Amino acid sequence: MLVVELISGRTLDQGATVEEKLSEEYSKAVNYIELSEEDFKSLGLKEGDRVKISTEFGSVVVFAKKGEIPKGLAFIPMGPYANAVIDPATDGTGMPQFKGVMAKIEKTEEKVKTVRELLEAI
Amino acid sequence: MLWIKNGIVIDPKNKIKAEKMDIFVKNGKIVPEGEVKREECRVIDASGKLVVAGGVDMHAHIAGSKINTGRTMRPEEMRVVRNVAGKFRAAVGRVLLTAPAIGYEYAKMGYTTSFEAAQPPIGALHTHEELDAIPMIDKAALPVFGNWHLVFKCIEEKNLEKLKTLIAWAIERSKGFGVKVVNPGGVEAWMYGGNVKSLDDQVPGFNVTPREIITMLIKANEELGLPHSVHLHCNNLGVPGNFQTTIESIKLAKGFSNSKRQVLHVTHVQFNAYAGSSWRDAASGAAEIAKVVNSMDNVTIDMGQPIFGHATAMTGDAPFQFTLHKLTGARWSNKDTEVETGAGIVPLVYLPNNPVHALQWAIGLELGLLVDSNKVALTTDYPNGGPFTEYPYVMAMLMSRKMREGELSKVNAYVQKATGLASIDVEKTLYEIINMTRSLPARILGLQNKGHLGIGADADIAIYNLNPLETDTSKDFEKVYKAFKSAEYTIKSGEIISRNGEIVKEVFGRTFWVDARKKVDMEAVMNDIRDYFQYYSVQLGNYGVEERWIKKPERLEVV
Amino acid sequence: MEDVICTFCGSVCDDGEFDAEKKKVKKFCRLGSAKFSEKERIKAPMVDGKEVSYETAIEKAAEILVNAKKPLLYGWASTANEAIRLGVILAEKLRGVYDQCASVCHAPGTLAVIEEGLPGATLGSVKNRADVVVFWGSNPAEAHPRHGMRYSISAKGLLIKDRKQRKVVVFDVRPTKTAKMADLFIQVKPGYDYAVISALRAILSGNADVVPSEVGGVAKEKLLQLAEMMKNAKYGAIFYGLGVTQSRGRDRNVENAIKLIQLLNRTTRWIIWPMRGHYNVVGAGEVPAWEVGYQYAIDFSRGYPRFSPAEFSAVEVLKRKDCDAALIVASDPAAHFPAAAVKHLKQIPVIQIDPFPNMTTLLAKVVIPSAVYGIEAEGTAYRMDGIPLRVKKILETSYWTDEKILEEILKRVEKLKG
Domain assignment present for C5:
no
Pairing of strands B489-492, B461-464: antiparallel
Give the pLDDT of residue C418.
78
The per-residue pLDDT for range B244-294, each reduced to its tens digit, is 999 999 999 999 999 999 999 999 999 999 999 999 999 999 999 999 999
Give the pLDDT of residue B394.
98
Burial class (CB in 10 A: 0-12, 13-18, 19+), A92: middle
Amino acid at site B98: T
CA distance C106 to B380: 35
The CATH number that applies at residue C332 is: 3.40.50.740
Residue C172: list chain A partners with CB under 8 A.
none
In terms of domains, do C249 and C379 share one? no
Q: Of B69, B78, B124, which is closest to C118 when you measure between CB atoms?
A: B69
Answer whether C309 sits within 8 Å of A93, measured CB to CB: yes
Residues 6+ away with beta carbon under 8 Å from B338: B122, B535, B536, B537, C122, C124, C125, C127, C128
Please tell me what DSSP assigns to residue B458.
Answer: B
In this structure, are residues B272 and B234 in contact, taking their beta carbons and an 8 Å threshold?
A: yes
Domain assignment present for C25:
no
Answer whether C8 sits within 8 Å of A15, measured CB to CB: yes
Please tell me what DSSP assigns to residue B93.
Answer: B
Domain assignment present for C396:
yes
How do the domains of chain A map onto residue ranges?
2-121
| Percent above pLDDT 70 for chain C | 100
Q: Do chains C and A touch (3 or more CB pairs under 8 A)?
A: yes
Residue C287: list chain B partners with CB under 8 A.
129
Domain boundary among C274, C304, C322: C274
CA distance C32 to B81: 43
In this structure, are residues B421 and B366 in contact, taking their beta carbons and an 8 Å threshold?
A: yes
User: Does residue B134 register a pLDDT over 90?
Assistant: yes
Domain assignment present for C206:
yes
Domain assignment present for C242:
yes
In terms of domains, do C198 and C91 share one? no
ipTM over 0.85: yes
Domain assignment present for C217:
yes
Give the pLDDT of residue B361.
98
Counting as contact any 3 or more CB pairs under 8 A, the partners of B are: C
The CATH number that applies at residue C236 is: 3.40.228.10
In terms of domains, do C232 and C287 share one? no
In this structure, are residues B220 and B439 in contact, taking their beta carbons and an 8 Å threshold?
A: no
- For the beta carbon of residue B205, count every other beta carbon within 10 angstroms: 13
| Percent above pLDDT 70 for chain B | 100
In terms of domains, do C338 and C304 share one? yes
Q: In the predicted model, what is the mean pLDDT of chain B?
A: 98
Give the pLDDT of residue B271.
98
- Average pLDDT of span C98-124: 96
Residue C40: list chain A partners with CB under 8 A.
20, 22-23
Nearest chain C residue to B122 by CA: give it: C387
Q: In the predicted model, what is the mean pLDDT of chain C?
A: 97
* Adjacent-strand bridge partners of A60: A53
Pairing of strands B511-515, B553-557: parallel
Intervals of chain A under pLDDT 70: none
Give the pLDDT of residue C168.
98
The per-residue pLDDT for range B285-325, each reduced to its tens digit, is 999 999 999 999 999 999 999 999 999 999 999 999 999 99
The per-residue pLDDT for range A8-40, each reduced to its tens digit, is 999 999 999 999 999 999 999 999 999 999 999
Domain assignment present for C24:
no
CA distance A8 to A99: 6
In this structure, are residues C70 and C91 in contact, taking their beta carbons and an 8 Å threshold?
A: no
User: Does residue C100 register a pLDDT over 90?
Assistant: yes
The per-residue pLDDT for range C254-291, each reduced to its tens digit, is 999 999 999 999 999 999 999 999 999 999 999 999 99
Cis before B383? omega within 30: yes
CA distance A38 to B93: 57
Banded pLDDT at C405 (limits 50, 70, 90): very high
In terms of domains, do C233 and C265 share one? yes
CA distance B17 to B356: 38
For helices C281-292 and C81-94, the axis angle rounded to 10 degrees is 50
Number of domains in chain C: 2
Domain assignment present for C3:
no
In terms of domains, do C153 and C257 share one? yes
Residue C5: list chain B partners with CB under 8 A.
542
Rg (CA), chain C: 22
Q: In the predicted model, what is the mean pLDDT of chain A?
A: 96
In terms of domains, do C198 and C255 share one? yes
User: Does residue C309 register a pLDDT over 90?
Assistant: yes
- Average pLDDT of span B181-208: 98
Distance from CA of A119 to the nearest CA of C (A): 8
Residues 32-71 of chain A with CB under 8 A from chain C are: 57-58, 67-70
Rg (CA), chain B: 22
Contacts for C305-311: CB closer than 8 Å, 24+ residues apart: C305/B78, C305/B90, C305/B92, C305/C92, C307/B75, C307/B78, C309/A90, C309/A92, C309/A93, C309/A94, C309/A95, C309/C103, C309/C107, C309/C111, C310/A90, C310/A92, C310/A93, C310/A94
CA distance C313 to C295: 11
Q: Is A109 on the interface with C (CB under 8 A)?
A: no
- Average pLDDT of span C395-407: 98
The per-residue pLDDT for range B369-404, each reduced to its tens digit, is 999 999 999 999 999 999 999 999 999 999 999 999
Answer whether C123 sits within 8 Å of B326, measured CB to CB: no
CA distance C255 to C235: 20
All structural domains of chain B: 53-445 (3.20.20)
| Segments of A1-122 assigned E as strands | 2-9, 32-35, 50-55, 58-66, 73-77, 99-108
- Average pLDDT of span B228-239: 98
In this structure, are residues B337 and C122 in contact, taking their beta carbons and an 8 Å threshold?
A: yes
User: Does residue B123 register a pLDDT over 90?
Assistant: yes
Domain boundary among C274, C290, C309: C274
Q: Is C144 on the interface with B (CB under 8 A)?
A: no
Domain boundary among C274, C303, C318: C274
In this structure, are residues C83 and C379 in contact, taking their beta carbons and an 8 Å threshold?
A: yes
Domain holding C306, by residue range, is 40-105+279-417
CA distance A117 to B113: 59
Closest to C381 in 3D by CA, of C9, C72, C95: C9
The yes or no reply on domain A2-121 and CATH 2.40.40.20 is: yes
Burial class (CB in 10 A: 0-12, 13-18, 19+), C39: middle
**Collapsed DSSP state (helix, strand, coil) of residue C242:** helix
Residues 6+ away with beta carbon under 8 Å from C55: C408
Give the pLDDT of residue C20.
86
Give the pLDDT of residue B535.
94
- Average pLDDT of span C319-332: 98
Closest to B258 in 3D by CA, of B206, B296, B305: B296
Residue C117: list chain B partners with CB under 8 A.
73, 325, 331-334, 345-346
Q: Of B68, B74, B325, which is closest to C286 when you measure between CB atoms?
A: B68
Give the pLDDT of residue C284.
98
Counting as contact any 3 or more CB pairs under 8 A, the partners of A are: C
In terms of domains, do C118 and C218 share one? yes
User: Does residue C23 register a pLDDT over 90?
Assistant: no
In terms of domains, do C61 and C166 share one? no
In terms of domains, do C54 and C120 share one? no
Q: From residue B76, how far is each of B81, B88, B411, C298 by CA, in Å? A: 12, 23, 26, 14
Q: How far is CA C413 from the centre of its chain?
A: 29
